[in-house]
Structure 1
């Protein structure tokens, strides 16, 4: 394991864990816990240990206390800071009760109880933006949430910023997912993002796939899930379905030398290798 280099910050992104109570299956078919265990071990095997891990929503499947208790045990091997965010499958209040040591969960809640916070991860500023609508699968950004974001962006103009949210603020062309995407506030968010050249990424969950889109002068993206992925079918009337494609996660690396954020797609699991390309400076035949 190589430690983080002095001028580079590493932020790992997991998302859409859908953890159930021990022994319970998500969608009646899949035990998501072993997949998360593999993802956690994959993060720990990275050549550069992340400065932090952010999990962009759908931590649980139903937002139940027993699910969050199971999740806490599965995440326990991660020694670096872990920042949690709710998705449409989560319950904000139960999330706070189940993770009382995560004080940032109460930072920007306001009267509506939103889970919004600003934290420093190495040289990066991570802004977590709550897109959830209680009891609904789709997301929304109201004036209160956007005002909070604008205030935070004004406060960190000199820092490289990553905005994290659950619902992606763009059309993915996967019809059944776009129907439950960010249905309110996406245009206002893009106009706001376009005003700040220091926003390096808008990172999202919800889609269980790696998707990248130009957005507000930066890049907005989603990440694969540790277990099941949404089927890649761009037909407007494609059925709502998932598949056991190879899982993965994102690694966002900020280089102080280049002044750029570089994002890598990492596979979750164990694989053969590494094998050398050369033997004593000679290409292996």
Structure 2
């Protein structure tokens, strides 16, 4: 973005929850996956629909984003067969994409080579080292992993001390760029139930405050929301599920279009929610224009 007129357009999506493939080996279900599969078969497969996610992808293509940021939960069970399906889905997207895992993608404790490693092309080549940092134009994208295996009926997350320190370093070394932190579990309060929260939310919010960021994107809640990182004015933006069928406007399938540019010595951020309406037509929903200071090195 060498000139004020230049603009970067980014698509923000999350919680695609692609359908679980047919029968899975019984040995792979003798853990928390059994409960998640039961939830999928009894209810969630009627709410997360491929025809809806296809509409979202088609609408993104019409807007020609420079990048797509996928904030996790592309699977339901974190099974290798699901990641094989997800790999094909990601390759068909209409723009280069970056991904961070959600709680469903790391549902049980196992080697990343059993599935998550297939997402490496969209995580700067590693499913083990977070955060990763990638840049284009004057934008720095910082991918954080908050997903950890949890007990049944829990879906909390944790970034951890070591990754937190690397996050701080990444924020400091990219100062002066428009820094976007992408993390599945929101580093904020009241956005999800206690059993789904980020365990070290206070610590991670403090790191983001200390290092600085221009925007934090999350998923997990299945709700459209815009608040701020605690004790800062940094926008914390959530998005509803890419595949969700719901009668509630804030939970209907959508994606967020983010238009970023430099204007008069500051960052200009235009947020436009692209929402699947009652008549199955995509339309503009929530919109917001933000003017953000450029934080020099």
TM-score normalised by length of structure 2: 0.74
Counterparts in 2 of 1:187-202, with a 5 A limit? 187-197=202-212, 199-202=213-216
2:90 to 68, 75, 87: 75
The DSSP-based 3-state class of the residue aligned with 2:214 is strand
The 8 Å contact of residues 102 and 184 in structure 2, kept in 1 or not, is answered as yes
Pair 135,42 (structure 1): closer, same or farther in 2 beyond 3 Å = same
The 8 Å contact of residues 61 and 89 in structure 1, kept in 2 or not, is answered as yes
- Which runs of no fewer than 5 residues in structure 2 stay unpaired? 24-36, 285-297
Pair 204,249 (structure 1): closer, same or farther in 2 beyond 3 Å = same
The DSSP-based 3-state class of the residue aligned with 1:45 is helix
Deviations 1:139-172 (A, max 9, x none): 1121101101011112111211011100001123
Aligned length: 249
Are 1:226 and 2:242 an aligned pair?
yes
Pair 273,227 (structure 1): closer, same or farther in 2 beyond 3 Å = closer
The 8 Å contact of residues 96 and 105 in structure 1, kept in 2 or not, is answered as no
**Matches of 2:234 and 2:121, distance apart in 1:** 33
Are 1:152 and 2:160 an aligned pair?
no
Pair 115,66 (structure 1): closer, same or farther in 2 beyond 3 Å = farther
The 8 Å contact of residues 204 and 222 in structure 1, kept in 2 or not, is answered as yes
Are 1:260 and 2:268 an aligned pair?
yes
Shift of 1:247: 1.1
Pair 272,172 (structure 1): closer, same or farther in 2 beyond 3 Å = closer
1:36 to 40, 44, 53: 53
Pair 202,103 (structure 1): closer, same or farther in 2 beyond 3 Å = closer
Larger helix fraction of residues: 2
Name the counterpart of 1:237: none
Shift of 1:268: 4.0
The 8 Å contact of residues 240 and 250 in structure 2, kept in 1 or not, is answered as no
Name the counterpart of 2:14: 15
Counterparts in 2 of 1:1-285, with a 5 A limit? 7-22=6-21, 26-29=40-43, 30=46, 32-46=49-63, 49-91=64-106, 93=112, 94-99=114-119, 101-102=121-122, 104-106=124-126, 113-136=128-151, 137-172=155-190, 177-184=193-200, 186-197=201-212, 199-215=213-229, 216-228=232-244, 246-257=252-263, 258-268=266-276, 271=281
**Matches of 2:56 and 2:136, distance apart in 1:** 21
The DSSP-based 3-state class of the residue aligned with 2:17 is coil
Shift of 1:182: 0.5
**Matches of 1:231 and 1:194, distance apart in 2:** 36
TM-score normalised by length of structure 1: 0.76
RMSD: 3.0
Pair 273,16 (structure 1): closer, same or farther in 2 beyond 3 Å = closer
The DSSP-based 3-state class of the residue aligned with 1:227 is coil
Deviations 1:215-239 (A, max 9, x none): 223111211111227897xxxxxxx
